[in-house]
Amino acid sequence: MPELPEVETVRKGLAPVMEGRLIERAENRRPDLRFPFPDGFAERLTGIRVERLDRRAKYLLFRLESGETLLAHLGMSGRFTIQLETQTEKPGSFAHAPGTSEKHDHVVFGMEGGASIVFNDPRRFGFMTLFPTDHEAAVPFLAGLGPEPNSNEFSGPFLQARVKGKKAPLKAALLDQRVVAGLGNIYVCEALHRAGLSPRRMAGTLGPQRAERLALAVRQVIDEAIAAGGSSLKDFASADGELGYFQHTFRAYGQEGQVCVTAGCGGVIERIVQSGRSTFFCPTCQR
């Protein structure tokens, strides 16, 4: 499932062709994705200007001049692509990339200026909904989220305070969206490896120095992944069809059996299962 860096990459790709432009035509080609579309979905979007594109955690937020916000989640296989009147293919064959087909084009936005924004989702685990922008705090998907990992609010002292007394493993605590928003399996594995902390450590044992080290590692991993356009695993590609390349710098995730890259370590990356998810770590240098 796309994590924060992948969703931020999609937001950046869509912004130039959507921000400040009218949705001249909105179309949902089926009644539901993961959840049913809200009543009058296409009618509430047609003829409305997109003022701004935001992101919160793993959600895209299209701020509309009507006073509503369109919230979109990519799910497991959801993909926004941009189709231009003058150019129907770009590097990556983004119009219908490998593994996708036109029959899974479930939502189309015809934008002022000629671009079409297509949401393709073969597995239909993604979803879209509309809500009044000034009621955002009450939206179930957004209520209770922790700070963004690259925000000023997220710090070592904050992290230590948020996990104090928790008996859950450290990895599970970082995946809790109430602790920090937007982190997923890939980037938690990478941050824990950089910080030299075991995913099996009890979160409540995190002291000030380790918390500071981990908060810094989380921020660095997220910033580097955004700069790299995210990690392209299975279904992810950005809105222009380009693939991210952060996966080429993975130190832990997916590296089972490889020698740890930490200087002077010499350990070997192992894979364990925590809460049904694969965890990759070095038992030698991650304590």
Q: What is the count of structural domains for the chain?
A: 2
Active site residue 2: yes
pLDDT at position 87 is 55
pLDDT at position 83 is 87
Angle at 8 between CA 61 and CA 156, to 5 degrees: 105
Q: Which one is predicted more confidently, 57 or 232?
A: 57
pLDDT at position 240 is 52
Q: Would residue 53 count as lying in a domain? A: yes
Q: Are the beta carbons of 122 and 99 closer than 8 angstroms?
A: yes
Q: Would residue 71 count as lying in a domain? A: yes
For residue 242, what are the domain limits? 156-281
* Residue 78, pLDDT above cutoff 70: yes
* Residue 34, pLDDT above cutoff 70: yes
Amino acid in the structure at residue 72: A
Residue closest to 54 by CA, chosen among 188, 175, 182, 162: 182
Catalytic residue among 2, 5, 147, 149: 2
Q: Would residue 286 count as lying in a domain? A: no
Q: Would residue 150 count as lying in a domain? A: no
Catalytic residue among 3, 8, 68, 148: 3
Residue pLDDT, tens place only, 206-262: 999 999 999 999 999 999 888 887 664 444 344 554 544 456 678 999 999 999 999
Same domain, 105 and 169: no
Residue closest to 168 by CA, chosen among 201, 145, 210: 201
Compute the distance between CA of residue 230 and CA of residue 55 in angstroms, rounded to an integer.
Answer: 15
CA 148: distance to chain centroid?
A: 12
DSSP letter (8 states) at residue 260 = P
- The whole model's pTM is what? 0.89
Active site residue 199: no
Percentage of the chain lying above the pLDDT 90 cut: 77
Average pLDDT for the chain: 89
Q: Would residue 287 count as lying in a domain? A: no
Same domain, 49 and 170: no
Structure tokens belonging to residue 96: 């219908």
Q: Would residue 224 count as lying in a domain? A: yes
Q: Are the beta carbons of 107 and 128 closer than 8 angstroms?
A: yes
Active site residue 34: no
Catalytic residue among 34, 44, 201, 277: 277
Catalytic residue among 5, 6, 8, 58: 58
Q: Are the beta carbons of 188 and 180 closer than 8 angstroms?
A: no
Q: Are the beta carbons of 144 and 54 closer than 8 angstroms?
A: no
CATH code assigned at 230? 1.10.8.50
* Residue 89, pLDDT above cutoff 50: no
Active site residue 98: no
DSSP letter (8 states) at residue 134 = G
* Residue 98, pLDDT above cutoff 90: no
Q: Would residue 198 count as lying in a domain? A: yes
Q: Would residue 144 count as lying in a domain? A: no
Span 78-90, average pLDDT: 71
- Residue 171: pLDDT band with limits 50, 70, 90: very high
